[in-house]
Structure 1
Amino acid sequence: MIKNIVNRLVSRSVGASVAVVLMATGAFAEPLDYFLIEGTDYDQTVAKPAEVFGHDIGDQPIRHDLMVAYIRELASASPRMVVETIGYSHERRPILFITVSSPENLARLEEIRQNHLLRSNPETASQASDDLPVVTWLNYGVHGAESSGMDAAVPALYHLASARGDKINDTLENSVILITAIFNPDGHARRGAWVTQYGSDVRATDPEHEVHKQIWPGGRTNHYWFDLNRQWLLQTQPESRAWLTQWHKWKPQVSADFHEMGPNSTYYFHPGVPTRKYPLIPTRGRELLVELADYHQQTLDREKSLYFSEEGFDNYYIGKGSTYPQVNGSLGVLFEAGAQMGIARESDQGIKTYANNIRNHLLTSLSTIEGAAAMRASLHAYQREFYETAMEAAKHDDVSGYVFQAPEDPVRLHKFIELLGRHDVKAYALNGSLRADGRIFGEGAFVVPMNQRQYRMAKALFNRITEFPDKVFYDVSGWTLPLAYGLDYAELKGSLRGKIGDEAPDAYKVAAEPQEAPYAYVFRWSDYYAPRAVSRLLEAGVMARVSKEPIRVQTTSGVISFDRGAIIVQRDLQTVPANDIHALMKEIAADNDLIIHAATSGHTLDAGADLGGRNSVTDLKPIKPLLVVGGKMSPYDAGEVWHLLDHRMNMPVTLVRQDRLKSIDMRRYTHLILVGGRGDVLPKDMADDLKAWVKGGGTIIASRQGADWAAKYITGNGKKDEKDENKDDAVPARLAYADKGQKDAEHVIGGALFESDLDITHPMGFGLVRRMMASNKNTATKLPVPKDPYAQVAVYTESPLLSGYASERRISELKGTPMMTAERMGEGAIILFADNPNFRATYLGTEKLFLNALFFSTAFDRSYADEADEQAVEE
């Protein structure tokens, strides 16, 4: 194979003058020949990439629109390819899905697919022909900043379209190759624009050059700053929904995922660390990964390329593109190249180039395809065995199924059912009622039986694991999704005979049109889209109020009971005409799946809380939140807030970079949102101005490190004494360096689910009907206990670990401490979260707490008893 001139000539031992000569002569740009496989005959009539791009591969990141044009041109001219658009990014860039095989296979593609799927069901597996092609899936470009992981799709497709001879013909005859290009077009476009903007005629290899950096938030994430490689499980983004639909449509047997890692690393491929494997992944799956790795080893050995394969990366969190397949009957393979974002860069191993990364990804793409074809018989057998053993394991599982319900919020419930469907997990309506874990589940509840072919996936979604042989995690260690969605759920033991009804519907039934209200419209705050409805009302100038007490109201449909948080839209004192309000209520009901009731009187059927109450009801005001972004703020945390407010709730939110915040007139805003990040997320000298703004009526909502900053500089609760009386001056014990990895990780909280006791009588808890609240905890952030005895809205329980890893020391430190506090300061409020309430747009329970902090931030009072005590002391 053609060798890389740069890697041959430039190394640690080569002087700077040689490197300068190479840069000045454009040695880092490579012609197409560099990416062609030695000894392969190529059809010269096939369109070459440079003819469309105007530059060679590896010269700069390929523009998405040009890549789309090239792939479509390639597929239209090739009898080996078909291309379709399977979805669009938030910024409306198409996601292409390419199927590659022999012309004969493409002519009977649906027949092959249907026959192939028979193997994934034990009831039909014996009917599947083992003479079928192997199905291989290649993921390109899930992280936009890792551009070589996307651009490698181009030489791979060119090779598959133009290579000639017995070898490629045999490979295509025995393979159906599925390629997604590209997973993250918005992030890649952001990164590509940056590299082009800072591009130079003389390549900048200095790691400090701006071309190798990128200002916040970088190109890794999608439009709303979500890490799409964590979306295989969570499914909140359009890109991930598009590709997972295709994945389950085909259920490929090998899934390859191409990435970049730190620039001083060499090249990585799975099988990964042997001890860090999710328990539901079969041992046989890892054995086949090791066998497949031989093909990558042989390829890279021929290149004399450095690599590693059982270090650093794991197969634990099933939401990643290389691990998700492994709990779904496939082999998932992660590939990582040492990142060279600016085309060429100095590293500990000398100059490394973007082109070389693309070429390595091309080579392992081909070794994946060829290895899968060679292992075809073994992979057919494994897929059949995977589902047969899953059904067998289900029969011996003490848990026969899981039951769940959320009568207070049907939308949230059906969002979860939709998620199950995306993972091909079957859910059914509960037939009748049953008692589980001391609670009654009845009408409106659903059951997920373990006796189904997706047993492993279903189990992974619902179960809780808190003990681990290996305490090092590449990502979160716990993700029990019914807890994340805030559902009431329980394990079921014993027979489910007679308890399984109809299969859960695909869509939620839209609420009926509301009747015209003689006195007031009333609806529940617990419904998922109630905040969106209230925002729309307030923006339209309609007055709305919130009841702070449970109420029973006489309506045109009879007496209706409402929990705390009911929204009241009365006819009295409105400046918007009654007919316009009624028309708006009809639109809101339809758009937000709300049941809106028409109250006939302002008098409730319980003493002390009428609809016009003075203390029991609070007027709601329009909100104008400001979200601080950039600087030390976490793009993930900030993006989750932006996505929630803008995309889900259709509410305006102003994004302001941290370095501009001092110049902003905060009087224009009602809320300041500080998310997690690094260290002090704002300068200390901003504290006095923000404190004055809060006292004047503003509200700070802060989470994780943002909460640390607010507690330290705004409330003062987080300040520590200058003398730490508990300081331990003992000499540390001597430890073996070999134990460093495990010891360093011992007290890191590995993305676990923690349980809090929630005060559902507090306005911050409105819309939630169960005191148990699960949040994702991935830091040791510990909120100080506020002086106000009513300010601890949610407190970690005495045994807070629900799922995932946390050491006994961390549990001991955190149990009984606040997860959420809400304090009044002057006319404003400070609302703090120890955890990220909007984590990956999946924790819909704590998400409701965040929305409460926006809408009800001044609907609660301080402890006047404490003020009296303080005044007495002063006197």
Structure 2
Amino acid sequence: MKKITLLLLLCSFSVTAQDYFLKKYEPYNSDVPSPETFLGYGVGEYHTRHDRIVAYLNTLATSSPRAEIELYGYTHEKRPLVILRIGTQGNLQNIEALQQRHLVFTDPQQSAASDPELPIFIQLGYNVHGNEPSSSEAAMLTAYIMVASEHPEIAKFREQSVIFLDPTINPDGRDRHTQWANTYRGNPLVTDPQDAEHNEYWPGGRTNHYWFDLNRDWLLAINPESRGKLNWYHQWYPNVVTDFHEMGTQSTHFFEPMKANGSRNPIMPKENYEDLNNKFAEYFVEAHDSLGSLYFSKEVFDGTYPGYGSSYPDLQGGLGLLFEQASSRGHAQRTAFGKITFPFTIRNQLVSGMATIKAAVENKDYLRNYQKLFFTSGLRNAAASRTRAYTFELEDDANRLKAFLDKLLIHRVKVYRNGDRRFTVPTDQPQYRMVQSFFETYSTYRDSVFYDASAWSVANFYNIAYRPQRSFNSGQELTSVEDLFLPDAVQRSDYAYIVNGNDYNTPALIHYLQSQGLVVSSAFKPFTTRVNSQEKSFDYGAVIIHVPSQSKSADAVFQIVQEGQSRFQIPIDGVRSGYHLKGVDLGSRYMNPLRKPKAAMLVGEGTRSYEAGEVWHLLDTRVGMPITKLPLRDFDRIDLKGYNTLVMVSGNYRFSETQQEKIKQWVRQGNTLITIGTATSYVVDKEWVKESLVSDKKDSTATVERLPYGDAGENSGRERVGGIILKADLDLSHPLAFGYTRSDLPVYKNNEVWLKPSKNAYSTVAQYTPNPHIDGFISRENLEENAKGSASLVVSRLGGGRVVLFADNPNFRGSWYGTNRLFLNAIFLGNHIRVPN
């Protein structure tokens, strides 16, 4: 350890720094610049911005025929997403032919003979969490070694593999952290863990522009970073994929195998999580033992959730590999093991990456055969299943259905159209295991403690009512959703336009019309009228634009309505009369003009950035509506009068009595407060509303059973709700439920906020059913004592206003299309909710 520490201290000198990383693979081609030569400082002396990393990779591609760069997308902040291909000049010149030979092994319909001359495809992915920066620095070193080294071992690696090096999966988050670390860098370096350099302010650099965790987004594909990567991935199907991370400073280094898979019957082959992981672990052990590094495996982390960078490849015939390195959280920091420096963390990542390349090359035949086995075994499993297909249809919400279909297609799941809005997904297809991930649900597990979610049946995210089938009737294969469900052109009217209101894009249309200066109303009772000489029924929440009530001409109104339909692809009907055949008429007191939302959200230290980002992303990208983000640090001088809606996401709120009264008084004046998760428990505990939480029913005087201390972590973890799907019963007549046509609603729960149904008979909007479990692990105690009969959504009166209390997160990871509408209705219809006494 003393020798290692001495080396780390010497790393401030640039020549020594370069030798520290590169000496093993000498000599190097002098025509190819090293990272240090290009950057002007030794790797690890500073944190390197993403644009300079990309510039360096471009330099490698222009200075050597062994490398070429490709662009696969852009981030929200328009930073480029690139991959550097590395191999021999001959392999890169023939890359398309190699690609086709490789893809034969991913197609179970093709006969794949042994192809020993075919290079193995390795995808090295770095820095998905922006404030885990060591791996992107290691990426530059790895690229340089693989391109410039003339060492015989590296020459062998180039000959027998093609490396696809993605230096920064999350450039927006990385640059946020890079700016912080370099800004607070001391000279000399400050190792005190309390120094500002080691403690970012909220939200930190972990997440992307909208504060999403991109390492959870491979399955959900919400962000452009993930969608670009998935489109790239399904062109290449690499055999090995790395996923480099950092963890707490007091840790060491983790590599796979992971903790045992939590599922009772994992859908990935056991050859993956047993044989392959153990084969590769031998290489990691050898590499890190040679350094004297501390490390561990088989603990904490699990690959059960299929949306990680280290688990998604496992469902595509590849081997996903997770690495976790103790973080210096800056340039140097004091730990219980001594000082940890940025160069040391970089070296461990570099060593793990190089060991991965070696393991892949030396086991390339095994990996290739495994990939073939993966897809053929998928078809065998499908044939052995009684389920031959899943069918679903959605007559009243074209845009929600399109979003779900798009999600299937981006994962290359085959979908067939059997009618206007009826679709079938067969199980007999290469992506059978992705079909399982989308539709299968589970209630029994081998393990009870998960690193992340234990439920991910994506069809439930979209509130898709699907049915398993014993047979498959093919139709027309769907290849794109681009021109799907285009509505009939709106017919001009001088009287009124009506939108049924069930479509996911309805709130976006309302906001657009309001932004164009139109008065928009909503129907608080259903009705039936005549459209083009045909009877047509409209549900709760139908949207009305009464032409004579507008300040604009009929022609101008028509033009705005046409543009709204074009943008949001929603059917809009022109009508000639306000007299309706059934239900309320157009001039009824149940037709209420909607107030234009002026929304704000509390953000900053103490609030959950993930949830705040989900709200921001939803309103920005799907509604096109701005929301003001109010920093808690400025709360005392913030004037709330300019807003009619305030959002409080989960968090650890510590308002003074005066600050609490400021919010309560604002609500009493007729405004709407929306709380999510622990923000709901906060306002209930502080008695802002007359609601209550489910109390602990256990007898505190009962004798406590004596248990082994070593089991404490597992036992307490069992009671956590990491991520499950429950069924709620929805009051379809409530304004918050406008747009829904089925009372059964899947909701996502990843907290321990159990809300009692309101004592007010009209205030419980959504309540868990008597048998609520749909998917995921929940302990028997939680299910029986907390979940059954609890409320998911309650509206409570506060003076002339109201508090909308979400026990669950309706916007989880940007993917819960099925419950987004509840949240959006709270914004657009909140002021029309009159809580009866």
- Band of TM-score, shorter chain: over 0.9
Contact 2:262 2:445 in 1 (8 A): no
Question: 1:16 corresponds to which residue?
Answer: none
Equivalent residue, structure 2, for 1:102: 88
Cα distance in structure 1, aligned partners of 2:487 and 2:16: 60
Q: 1:486 aligns with which of 452, 463, 475?
A: 463
- Find the counterpart in structure 2 of residue 313 from structure 1: 301
Comparing 51-60 and 97-106, the one that deviates more: 51-60
| Equivalence for 2:5 | 7
Q: For the structure 1 residues 684 and 411, does the alpha-carbon distance in structure 2 shift closer, same or farther, using more than 3 Å as the test? A: same
Separation (CA, whole Å) in 1 of partners of 2:775 and 2:365? 38
Which deviations, in whole Å up to 9, do the C-alpha atoms of 1:833-861 show, x marking residues without a partner? Answer: 00111000111111110001111112232
Q: What TM-score do you get using the length of structure 2 for normalisation?
A: 0.96
User: Is the alpha carbon distance of 1:223 and 1:358 closer, same or farther for their aligned partners in structure 2, counting shifts above 3 Å?
Assistant: same
Task: Give the corresponding residue for 2:624.
Answer: 650
Letter in 2 for 1:365: G
Change (3 A) 1:426 1:39: closer
Partner SS, residue 38 of structure 1: helix
Is 1:626–2:600 an aligned residue pair?
A: yes
Number of residue pairs matched? Answer: 833
Counterpart amino acid of 2:287?
Answer: T
CA displacement 1:651-703 (0-9 Å, x = unmatched):
0100011121232111110101001123x364454222222211211100111
Residue 288 (1) aligns with residue 286 (2): no
Match of 2:539 in 1: 563
CA distance in 2, matches of 1:697, 1:29: 67
Question: Is the CA contact (8 Å cut-off) linking 2:379 and 2:428 kept in structure 1?
Answer: yes
Q: Aligned ranges for residues 672-711 of structure 1 at < 5 Å?
A: 672-678=646-652, 680=653, 682-711=655-684
Aligned residue among 794, 797, 816 for 1:821:
794
- AA aligned to 1:613 is S
Q: Percent identity?
A: 34
Matched with 2:338 is: 350
Paired with 1:814 and 1:852, the residues of 2 have a C-alpha distance of 25
* 1:170-569 aligned within 5 A: 170-276=156-262, 279-286=266-273, 287-430=275-418, 443-492=420-469, 494-496=470-472, 498-503=473-478, 505-509=480-484, 510-556=486-532, 558-569=534-545
Change (3 A) 1:88 1:451: same
Mark the CA change 1:72 to 1:557 in structure 2 (over 3 Å): closer, same or farther: farther
**Aligned letter for 2:412?**
D
TM-score in terms of structure 1 length: 0.92
Aligned to 1:635: 609
CA distance in 1, matches of 2:532, 2:475: 36
Once the two structures are TM-superposed, the CA of residue 127 in structure 1 deviates from its matched residue by 5.3
Structure 1 residue 831: deviation in Å?
A: 0.5
Aligned residue for 1:740, secondary structure, equals helix
- Return the alpha-carbon distance in structure 2 between the equivalents of residues 761 and 707 of structure 1: 23
Superposition deviation, residue 803 in structure 1: 0.3
Paired AA for residue 492 in structure 2 = E
Partner of residue 434, structure 1: none
SS at match of 1:152: helix
Q: CA deviation at 1:716?
A: 3.4
Within a 5 Å distance, the mapping from 1:851-862 to structure 2 comes to 851-862=824-835
Kept in 1, the 8 Å contact 2:650–2:678? The answer is yes
Counterpart Cα distance in 2 of 1:661 and 1:815: 38
- 1:533-612 matched pairs, under 5 angstroms: 533-556=509-532, 558-607=534-583, 609-612=584-587
Looking at structure 2, the residues matched to 604 and 304 of structure 1 have their Cα atoms a distance apart, in angstroms, of 81
CA deviation string 1:807-836 (max 9, x = no partner) = 111111121111001233333211010011
* d(CA) in 1 for partners of 2:235, 2:814: 25
The structural deviation recorded for 1:511 is 2.9
Deviations 1:366-402 (A, max 9, x none): 1111110100110111011111111000001121111
- Corresponding residue for 1:617? 591
Report if aligned partners of 2:378, 2:432 keep a CA contact under 8 Å in 1: yes
* 1:677–1:524 Cα change, 3 Å: same
Q: Is the 8 A contact 1:325 1:332 kept in 2?
A: yes
Query: How far 1:586 sits from its partner (Å)?
Result: 1.0
Does structure 1 retain, via aligned residues, the 8 Å contact 2:414–2:477? no
**Are 1:740 and 2:728 an aligned pair?**
no
Matching residue of 1:19: none
Amino acid at match of 1:814: A
The C-alpha deviation readout for 1:544-572, integer Å capped at 9, x for no partner, is: 10011222222347332221111000012
For 1:238 and 1:29, locate their aligned partners in 2 and report how far apart those are by CA, in whole Å: 39
Kindly provide the CA deviation profile for residues 126-145 of structure 1, in whole angstroms up to 9, marking residues without a partner as x. 25734311111111110000
- Going from structure 1 to structure 2, the CA distance change for 1:8 and 1:735 (only over 3 Å counts) comes to farther
- Give distance in 2, aligned partners of 1:236 and 1:707: 26
Corresponding residue for 1:13?
Answer: none
Q: 2:780 aligns with which of 808, 812, 818?
A: 808
Q: 1-side partners of 2:47 and 2:677: how far apart?
A: 35
Asked whether the 8 Å contact 2:71–2:83 carries over to 1, the reply is yes
C-alpha distance 833-42 of structure 1, shift in aligned 2 (>3 A): same
Q: What SS does the aligned partner of 1:858 have?
A: helix
Deviation at 1:39, TM superposition (A): 5.2
Judge conservation of contact 1:754–1:800 (CA < 8 Å) in 2: yes
- Whole-angstrom distance in 2 between the partners of 1:577 and 1:462: 50
Q: Which one is further off, 805-814 or 575-584?
A: 575-584
Asked if the contact 1:391/1:451 (under 8 Å) is kept, the reply is yes
Change (3 A) 1:9 1:444: closer
Query: 1:37 Cα deviation (Å)?
Result: 4.0
Instruction: State the one-letter code of the partner of 2:727.
Output: E
> How far apart are 1:645 and its partner, in Å?
0.7
Aligned 8 A contact 2:309 2:320 in 1: yes
Q: Give, as a single letter, the amino acid of the residue that structure 1 aligns with 2:332.
A: A
Amino acid aligned to 1:528:
Y
Q: How far apart are the structure 1 equivalents of 2:750 and 2:380?
A: 35
Deviation at 1:29, TM superposition (A): 9.7
Q: Offset at 1:53?
A: 2.1
Gaps of 5+ in 1: 11-21, 432-442, 868-875
Select which of 101, 110, 118 maps to 1:132.
Answer: 118
Partner SS, residue 248 of structure 1: helix
Q: Counterparts of 1:708 and 1:221 in 2: how far apart (Å)?
A: 26
Distance 1:80 1:570, change over 3 A: same
Map of 2:20 onto structure 1: 34
* Range 335-344 or range 726-735, more displaced: 726-735
Bigger Cα displacement from structure 2, 554-563 vs 649-658: 554-563
> What amino acid maps onto 1:553 in structure 2?
T
**CA distance in structure 1 between the partners assigned to 2:2 and 2:671 by the alignment:** 60
| Residue pair 1:29, 1:355 contacting (<8 A) in 2 also | no
- Give the AA of the match of 2:411: H
Other structure's SS at 2:77 match: coil
Amino acid at match of 1:194: W
SS at match of 2:686: helix
Distance 1:653 1:211 in 2: 31
How many angstroms does 1:48 deviate by? 2.1
Give the Å deviation of 1:282. Answer: 0.8
Deviates more, 1:303-312 or 1:125-134: 125-134
SS at match of 1:853: helix
Q: State the alpha-carbon separation in 1 of the partners of residues 593 and 517 from structure 2.
A: 13
Quote the Cα distance in structure 2 between the aligned partners of 1:41 and 1:338: 31
* CA drift at 1:341: 1.5
Distance 1:500 1:450 in 2: 15
1:856 alignment partner, SS class: helix
The code of the aligned residue for 1:279 comes to P
